[in-house]
Amino acid sequence: MERLKYLLDEEELPRAWYNIQADLPTPLDPPLHPATWQPVKPEDLEPIFPRELIRQEVSRERWIPIPEEVREVYRLWRPTPLYRAVRLERLLKTPARIYYKWEGVSPPGSHKPNTSVAQAYYNMKEGVERLTTETGAGQWGSALAFATMLFGLKCTVYMVRVSYDQKPYRRILMEIWGAECVPSPSSRTEYGRRVLKEDPQNPGSLGIAISEAIEDAVTHPHTKYSLGSVLNHVLLHQTIVGLEAKRQMEMAGDYPDVILGCVGGGSNYSGLLFPFLADKLTGKKPELQAFSCEPKACPTLTKGIYTYDHGDSAGLTPLLKMYTLGHTFVPPPIHAGGLRYHGDAPLLCKLTREGYVGARAYHQNEVFEAARLFARAEGFVVAPETAHAVKAAVDEALRCRETGEEKVILFNASGHGMLDLAAWDAAIHGKLVDFEYPQELVEKALRELPRPRS
């Protein structure tokens, strides 16, 4: 009988995060100060982040110890299970073996608390009293609300307005855990008021919400900003997913041929991928394939430009070297709100640029169709974001059916969809619209990329 689930004991919870910067063939391009276009100094980041997170951001140490206080919280839901999707394999009649790491068992229902818990802990240790942040679909906002509650911090979340309206239960979850949730753009900040004056019906974007959260943080005492994706320290914390999965794949007697994950900012996919990609970078598994899965409505990796850009719409953040659609880009209101970001993690972008990782883009109707197939086979209802990874896994398995290849496919099931049932209802009843962002609008946003002053 085929084994369906691989579990690690609590004692096997990793004791350190893996830092892929130690194994990069060439160093990551540094963030630049937007005024001088010179590399950002650690002290430039101190108004926004605690010192320990800044240290992790620039570190090239291969292993960063996980504090025991953080591991204690992790043990509420970690280690998470790895499943062999036997029923899905049978349904697809594929010779491929499909595995998925199930991150939907955390209290907020996704991978996000892997970093929110760490970030709340380090801020608490340095005397911070309140954290501000942005959120798209609400997974990150609810995760930070959960973490700040545990460590006695206040929390203000700026939620992209279209998702605030589409996903009220995420807001309620944040409020249960004591956070304040504000629809963005808002009248709370100077930048939010400026956006609303220009466009009172603006649906919002992660770039706008980031600007509001940063402005809030830097204009109030004892307050710092917290980011749920993109930055190096966030991806670092998420590697606990891949470290566990590596051990579980060993238990299964398998090793992935291809690794897939949805990408908005890049944290959940990088968290699964990087511990495996280390084997490719060091020459142990040169044949390993990896693909980021994104929406055609926000095609950062498949249509963006690799260059320096702001991480937010107002231009408050340092300039990051990444694939970008332009920081003024406002994507259509698709239901995968967590994937509506104009850029991506610099680490993932660098590895994509250098050919270690590929990218695929999908429409929302086809990803919901694949996720519904997955739910009928495996039972789990996944988030709209996660559905992009499911779509890629199904496609890969069907290719194996055609070629007869017995590939091992691994993807990150990054979160459940139980608070996204309105989106599922729209998908089931044919109410979703497929958006493919027009190239002329992409080019318009790219014309507004920052340029160094002469």
* 3-state DSSP assignment of residue 295: strand
Cα 276 to Cα 287: distance, rounded to the nearest angstrom? 12
Each residue's pLDDT tens digit, 160-191: 998 898 888 999 999 999 999 999 999 999 99
Cα 212 to Cα 372: distance, rounded to the nearest angstrom? 36
pTM of the predicted structure, to 2 decimals: 0.94
**How many C-beta atoms surround the C-beta of residue 252 within 10 A?**
15
Question: Rounded to the nearest 5°, which phi and psi values hold at 355?
Answer: 90, 10
Cα 386 to Cα 171: distance, rounded to the nearest angstrom? 20
Each residue's pLDDT tens digit, 232-258: 999 999 999 999 999 999 999 999 999
Cα 359 to Cα 46: distance, rounded to the nearest angstrom? 34
* pLDDT at 101 (0 to 100): 98
Yes or no: say if 338 and 137 are a contact pair by the CB < 8 Å rule: yes
Helices marked H in 3-112: 51-58, 68-74, 86-92
Omega before residue 79 within 30° of 0, cis: yes
Q: 197-205: long-range contacts at Cβ-Cβ below 8 A with a sequence spacing of 24 or more?
A: 202/161, 202/330, 203/160, 203/161, 203/162, 203/330, 203/333, 204/160, 204/161, 204/162, 204/163, 204/164, 204/330, 205/160, 205/313, 205/329, 205/330, 205/331, 205/340, 205/341, 205/342
Yes or no: say if 408 and 97 are a contact pair by the CB < 8 Å rule: yes
Can you read off the two tokens belonging to residue 202?
Answer: 């603006």
Tell me which amino acid residue 46 is. Answer: E
Yes or no: say if 67 and 15 are a contact pair by the CB < 8 Å rule: no
The CATH code of domain 5-10+77-109+232-446 reads 3.40.50.1100
Question: Rounded to the nearest 5°, which phi and psi values hold at 3?
Answer: -80, 140
* 3-state DSSP assignment of residue 150: helix
Tell me which amino acid residue 51 is. Answer: R
Cα 53 to Cα 46: distance, rounded to the nearest angstrom? 10
* pLDDT at 336 (0 to 100): 61
Residues in the chain predicted with pLDDT less than 50, given as ranges, are none
Closest CA to 375 of 339, 420, 326, 323: 420
Cα 208 to Cα 404: distance, rounded to the nearest angstrom? 47
Yes or no: say if 325 and 3 are a contact pair by the CB < 8 Å rule: no
Closest CA to 138 of 383, 453, 349, 310: 383
Beta bridge partners of 262: 293
Closest CA to 145 of 174, 119, 167: 174
Can you read off the two tokens belonging to residue 167?
Answer: 């996903």
Yes or no: say if 411 and 355 are a contact pair by the CB < 8 Å rule: no
Q: Where are the beta strands (DSSP E) in 75-167?
A: 82-84, 97-102, 130-135, 154-160
SS (H, E, C) 24-54: CCCCCCCCECCCCCCECCHHHHCCCCCHHHH
Q: Domain boundaries in the chain?
A: 5-10+77-109+232-446
Tell me which amino acid residue 194 is. Answer: R
Closest CA to 332 of 370, 299, 366: 299
Closest CA to 440 of 276, 325, 346, 315: 325
Cα 442 to Cα 454: distance, rounded to the nearest angstrom? 26
Cα 45 to Cα 51: distance, rounded to the nearest angstrom? 8
